[in-house]
Amino acid sequence: MIRTVSGGVCAAKGFKAAGIHCGIRKNREKKDLALIMSSVPASAAAVYTTNLVKGAPLTVTQRNIADGMAQAVICNSGNANTCNADGIMIAEQMCALAADALGIRAEDVIVASTGVIGQPLSLMPIAAGIAPLAAALSVDGSSDACEAIMTTDTKQKEIAVEFVLGGKTCRLGGIAKGSGMIHPNMATMLVFLTTDAAISPAMLQKALLGDIQKTFNMISVDGDTSTNDMVSILANGQAGNAEITAEGADFDAFMQALNTVNIFLCRSIAADGEGATKLLECVVNGAKDEAAAKAVAKSVICSSLTKAAMFGEDANWGRVLCAIGYSGAEVDVDKVGVRFSSSAGNVEVCRDGAGVPFSEELAAQVLHESEIEILISLGDGDGSATAWGCDLSYEYVKINGDYRT
């Protein structure tokens, strides 16, 4: 049984977090430096963007956790530290500053940055802020850390769950940021997960890599894959369960908890897409296989015309069929069915590849809600998948038209 608890990344035993404004961002009311720490060294795993242009922090993090261990996470917002000549040095120094303040090894620090690409990142505000940041570490600090990693986000994205492994109560929590440049093919945006479950580094990496295929890899806000996307997880074993070193019942239970947290964060990120007014969830059933279902779901979520129609509350189902058709999946179009659903009701708009009479009034009511399901049946097999996205509004262009300046 999995139940939601409070605490975010501090819900698990042995974790503290903090977030402060150190001066990277001009607005003093916006926190811009976050820290998460485990009381003991922890198993560590991460997945990174597939963009060939990668932020320097990802390179340093990948090297630091090559041994499968870490103890802290430091992250700044306001500057991505990407495409900078001194980027690697800056990322390494961030790790060193955190390590000195915490009394741990620099090689045991995960480092991340988010914000504008191609602008130099000064170490001065980080160096000045690291002592007060470390002093602010608290079991109540998850929300502050969550706020400090936000850029164009309008809402904090934070969750924790409790579950049982081998008779021991365990917790797993996470914080995330992401609103624009959301089209991952590995992980997404920035997501930091913590757990007090005992699990080996190899199995932790297997769990994370396996779950993101059905969660973070199934989100799209705008079709742009970020240079700094990373999902990382620390597992410090403080719950006292027998260490998970192989697949089995405990691994399955851990995967279920991880999936619960990740789906919540996925939905939160998609709902908070830049300029978004609606969360879109595309559920595909009856595909030839899971790969086909994923291709169709992602294609529909990524369709700019479909996203625009959802913003305009227009039941233009032809755009959904169009996106299915160019998805690359093998589909018998004559078997396709489409429904739009929300808390206001359910309306069938397409059956066997052709339109059916429906109430435009009911459709408008359904599409007026803030969460909309696009339900697709393909009639070709047992494959299924779900993808998340958002509508495309005027505000998206406004936000990104002057993002750098």
Amino acid 14 reads G
Task: Note if 188 is an active site residue.
Answer: yes
One of 188, 194, 225, 227 is an active-site residue; which one?
Answer: 188
Q: Which residues contact 148 (CB under 8 A, 6 or more apart)?
A: 19, 20, 21, 31, 32, 33, 34, 75, 76, 77
What DSSP assignment string belongs to 161-210?
Answer: EEEEETTEEEEEEEEEE-SSS---SSS-SEEEEEE-S-B-HHHHHHHHHH
Cα–Cα distance for residue pair 389/257, rounded to 1 Å: 23
Cα–Cα distance for residue pair 303/113, rounded to 1 Å: 29
3-state secondary structure of 269: helix
Closest CA to 81 of 24, 8, 37, 137: 24
Strands (E), 66-200: 69-77, 109-114, 157-165, 168-177, 190-195
By annotation, the residues acting in catalysis are: 188
